[in-house]
């Protein structure tokens, strides 16, 4: 089974294969359905899925929008349309994932120094 982040990359390459339309709202629905399906067959939450749970807070900080709005609604608000929002999501997700990777590397380096 591919990882959650690999799945996001596959969707980025061929969105309509997975979400039928170039739409951030469709991606949000896909991700929610994917997570629901995994839990229904008792597949535990992966480390990447746990990290992705932090995406909401990261988006709120990025846009300085501390509200009850879902990350998809915040991105859509700052986009021209659903297609633009989807493209922005992939850019923001890459930035988020890179920052998470840097933090993990720094933590690993600190652990090695101890």
What are the tens digits of pLDDT across the range 54-111? 999 999 999 999 878 999 999 999 999 999 999 999 999 999 999 866 655 555 554 5
- Beta-carbon neighbour count of residue 63 at 10 Å? 16
pTM given for the model: 0.86
pLDDT at position 103, please? 56
Contacts with 79 (C-beta within 8 Å, 6 or more apart), sequence order: 24, 85, 88
Contact (CB, 8 A) for 89 and 27: yes
Helix ranges (H only) for the chain are 4-13, 15-19, 24-40, 47-52, 55-62, 71-77, 82-113
Query: In the structure, what pLDDT confidence band is assigned to residue 1 with cuts at 50, 70 and 90?
Result: confident
Segments forming the whole domain that contains residue 61: 4-113
* Number of structural domains the chain divides into: 1
pLDDT at position 9, please? 96
Instruction: Find the mean pLDDT for residues 42-60.
Output: 94
pLDDT at position 111, please? 53
> How far apart, in Å, are the Cα atoms of 102 and each of 25, 81, 82, 98?
29, 31, 30, 6
Instruction: Find the mean pLDDT for residues 23-51.
Output: 95
* Widest pairwise Cα distance in the chain: 50
pLDDT at position 32, please? 97
Closest by CA to 19, choosing from 92, 82, 97, 96, is 82
pLDDT at position 109, please? 52
Instruction: Find the mean pLDDT for residues 32-43.
Output: 96
């Amino acid at each position: 089974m591919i990882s959650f982040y690999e799945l996001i990359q596959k969707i980025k390459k061929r969105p309509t294969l997975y979400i039928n339309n170039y739409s951030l709202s469709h991606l949000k629905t896909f991700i929610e359905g994917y997570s629901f399906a995994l839990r229904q067959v008792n597949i535990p939450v992966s480390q990447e899925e746990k990290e992705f749970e932090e995406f909401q807070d990261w988006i709120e900080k990025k846009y300085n929008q501390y509200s009850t709005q879902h990350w998809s609604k915040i991105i859509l608000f700052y986009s021209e349309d659903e297609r633009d929002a989807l493209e922005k999501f992939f850019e923001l997700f890459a930035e988020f994932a890179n920052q998470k990777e840097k933090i993990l590397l720094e933590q690993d380096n600190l652990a090695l120094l101890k």
